Amino acid sequence: MKEKHSQPRRVEDAAGAPRWSVWRQDDNGNVALVKGGLTRTEALRLTADLECRGHKQTYWAQGEQ
């Protein structure tokens, strides 16, 4: 019997909280992971810190799957 595939599960820490990552896109359109395995608060704080430095990159946080 073929098993149904469901949506990917979110990555969680030991306490069951979803993990987040911070990504960037440079002015040439290249996307790269900055850091993963963060809490939502850590990811948002890192994103804000990177954005305030005035680089040409765009930074965002997203939940890991």
What's residue 16's pLDDT?
66
Alpha-carbon distance of 21 to 45, in angstroms, equals 11
Helix (H, G, I), strand (E, B) or coil at 35: strand
Alpha-carbon distance of 45 to 24, in angstroms, equals 14
What's residue 17's pLDDT?
72
User: 5-58: per-residue pLDDT in tens?
Assistant: 433 345 555 566 789 999 999 989 999 999 999 999 999 999 999 999 877 789
What's residue 58's pLDDT?
93
What's residue 18's pLDDT?
81
Quote the radius of gyration of the chain (alpha carbons, Å): 15
Residue showing tokens 């960037």: 24
Residue showing tokens 């395995």: 37
What's residue 13's pLDDT?
57
